[in-house]
Structures are given as C-alpha cells and as structure tokens.
C-alpha cells in the first residue's frame, strides 16, 4: 500500500510518521518542505519526500508516477489558515479550492481509489443563516460560512463529495478543530501558534499566556491517526467527520492542565483582541460519534497527555540556553 501525502506540515508530517511506522513508505510532496523540522518528528529515511506544487497538475502526476499509489491525503492549505485567508482571500481561494480540484482530477484520471482531504471545524462555528427551518424553498435555509477560509473548506467538502458520487472515488473530509502539536517552523493556524507560544514559554520557565476563549483542541498525532483511519475505513458513510479531542477546555482548565503537566508554570489568561477571527463566544463541542462509528476514532491524547508529549518533544529540540 502506498499513500501520497500532499502538504508536510503539522498534520501531514504526523500522517507520514504513522504510515512509515507501520511499514509503508509514503510519498510526501510539499511546495516548501521543512526538512530540518521533519527530521525532529520522523526518520527521514523512511519516507520519500520531494518538492511539488498542488497548484501545478503536472506536479501531482509526477508524484503519482513515483509508485503505485492507492490513496491520497491532501493537507496543503494557505498559510495561517483563517487569518491568512482574511488577509489574502484570492490566494487562499486558489490554493484551497483549485488545489483540491487538481487532486480530485488527478485521482480520477489516475484511478486512485481513495482521497482524504482536510476540512476544518470552522464549518461548525463560522456560519450564519439556516434560519428558514431547513426549508430549501427559502433563501436562508442553508447556512453560509462568513470567513473566506470557512468558505473554501465548505467548497472542499462539497466538491470532494461530488467527485465521490460522480466518479466512485472514496472521499473523506476531516474537520479538524484547532491543531496543537510539535512544530518549529511556519505552519498551522493562528490558534496552533498561540498554543505553541504557551507551551514553549512554560517549558522555558517564562510566563505562559493562556488564550482567553473556551476552545476545543486536537493533538496533531490524533488528527493524523484519524486521517490514517480514514485511509483504512471500509465504509466512509457520509464522508465528513469531526476530529477533535472531544471536549472543550475553558481558559482556567487549560491553565490548570499546563501547571499540572509542567509544575511551577506561571500563567496569565489573555483575551484575544476584539475582532480576532476566533475570539468571542463559547465553543460548542463537536460531536465526534460519526468518526468513532465509521473510522474507529477515539482520541488518544487528552490535554494532560498532549501537554506532556509536546513538552517532551520541545525539550529535545530547543536550543540549549546561553
């Protein structure tokens, strides 16, 4: 079995590691591979890592020519996700939507049986409408995303599911919630960066700033495990799955978990700036029962284990003080 992973960032790197650890040799394509970061997360000799741009269809064809590929995992997205797309909508629309379309076309032409795409829990949150009680004869029956990034992820799900229906490609879209996880270069979304700053400060003995919003998180290793489960699942059901830790963490709870994982940590809870795309309002926990049923997904990293694992990685890679 060979999988092509497109995008070797926070999530894609962990997917590559899991596949390599179970004896596969995944193909890993990234427009700007961060080899030094990847080397801290996996044994680089166990994957086939190369440069390629998902916006160039010939890059995808060339990648598929390297081995007989059974499944594609597509994780590439615009830098800084929601924030990045608000700043540069056209680039995000092009990469997220045309990137997905290029991969689906390549899957169709090359006869790839399965494609797992990254969606986002922004679709559980940044939507409005749906006021007409589901009556499709009325204009507001269907909720519409109100950030550019969420709009692209809605398109990813809809386009992928239409390829599945029309061309028999098994398709899954995984709605990860904000991903926390080991990474030391550019990558992830705004919340990933805030979590990283918090964790690094705690390990370095500095004051750790806790985001002042109740939020749901997922560890990159759990997001990747779910992704691998979506490669393997015999029945993908309706194809869209929430992938989260399974519970909300309020700021005080996150602070307490951090102090417990890294004793002596000084914490300060800080509200996100007004108007920040993820500030305000409480998060409603996502229902992960469909992922449990079809993928067998059960998160392995509750917050305490996540923090310990992440801190252990960071202690191993940070530069010695002085």
Taking the complex as a whole, the smallest distance from the CB of residue 101 to ligand NAD amounts, in Å, to: 13
- Closest to ligand NAD by CB, 9 vs 239, is 9
Nearest approach in angstroms of CB 86 to ligand NAD is 14
- Which residue, 32 or 138, has its beta carbon nearer to ligand NAD? 32
Measured from the CB atom, the residue of 6 and 42 that comes closer to ligand NAD is 6
Per DSSP, 95 falls in state I
Closest CA to 54 of 37, 40, 73, 70: 73
Least Å distance, CB 189 to ligand NAD, is 4
How far are the Cα atoms of 42, 155, 171, 179, 290 from residue 152, in angstroms, in the given order? 30, 5, 17, 18, 23
Minimum CB separation from ligand NAD for residue 42, in Å? Answer: 14
Site of interaction with ligand NAD (CB under 6 A): 6-12, 30-32, 53-55, 75-77, 81, 95, 118, 120, 176, 178-179, 187-189, 191-192
Nearer to ligand NAD, 24 or 30 (CB): 30
User: In angstroms, rounded to a whole number, what is the distance separating the alpha carbons of residues 164 and 170?
Assistant: 6
C-alpha–C-alpha distance, residues 218 and 120, integer Å: 12
Nearer to ligand NAD, 120 or 154 (CB): 120
Residue nearer to ligand NAD on the CB measure, 122 or 258:
122
Residue nearest to ligand NAD (CB): 9
Q: Which two tokens stand for residue 268?
A: 């300060």
Question: Whole-number minimum distance, CB 14 to ligand NAD, in Å?
Answer: 8
Contact yes or no for 308/114 (Cβ under 8 A): no
Least distance between ligand NAD and beta carbon 181 (Å)? 8
Q: How far is the CB of 104 from ligand NAD (least distance, A)?
A: 15
- CB-wise, 10 or 141, nearer to ligand NAD? 10
Q: Of 10, 38, 7, which Cα lies nearest the Cα of 189? A: 10
Cα dist from 29 to 12, 61, 96, 302, 321, whole Å:
10, 12, 16, 30, 34
Nearest to 177 by CA among 251, 268, 284: 284
Q: Which of these, 311, 210, 322, 320, lies nearest to 268 by C-alpha position?
A: 210
């Amino acid at each position: 079995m060979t999988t092509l992973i497109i995008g070797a960032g926070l999530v894609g790197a962990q997917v590559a590691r899991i596949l390599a650890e179970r004896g596969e040799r995944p193909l890993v394509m990234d427009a700007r591979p961060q080899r030094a970061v990847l080397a801290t997360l996996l044994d680089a000799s166990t994957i086939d890592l190369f440069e390629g741009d998902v916006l160039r269809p010939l890059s995808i064809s060339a990648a598929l020519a390297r081995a007989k590929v059974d499944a594609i995992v597509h994780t590439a997205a615009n830098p800084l996700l929601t924030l990045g797309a608000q700043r540069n909508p056209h680039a995000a629309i092009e990469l997220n939507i045309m990137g997905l379309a290029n991969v689906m076309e390549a899957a169709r032409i090359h006869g790839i049986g399965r494609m797992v795409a990254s969606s986002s829990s922004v679709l559980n949150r940044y939507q409005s409408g749906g006021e007409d009680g589901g009556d499709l004869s009325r204009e507001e029956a269907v909720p519409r995303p109100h950030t550019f990034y969420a709009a692209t992820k809605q398109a990813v799900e809809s386009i992928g599911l239409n390829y599945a229906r029309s061309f028999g490609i098994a398709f899954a879209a995984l709605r990860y919630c904000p991903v926390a996880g080991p990474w030391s270069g550019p990558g992830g979304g705004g919340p990933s960066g805030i979590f990283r700053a918090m964790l690094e400060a705690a390990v370095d003995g500095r004051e750790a700033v806790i985001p002042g919003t109740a939020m749901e998180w997922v560890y990159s290793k759990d997001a990747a495990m779910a992704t691998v489960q979506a490669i393997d699942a015999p029945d993908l059901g309706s194809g869209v799955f929430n992938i989260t830790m399974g519970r909300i963490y309020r700021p005080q709870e996150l602070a307490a978990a951090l102090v417990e994982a890294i004793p002596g940590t000084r914490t300060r809870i800080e509200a996100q700036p007004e108007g920040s795309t993820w500030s305000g309002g409480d998060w409603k926990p996502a229902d992960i029962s469909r992922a449990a049923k079809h993928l067998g997904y059960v998160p392995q990293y509750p917050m305490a284990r996540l923090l310990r694992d992440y801190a252990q990685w960071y202690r191993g890679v940070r530069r010695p003080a002085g």
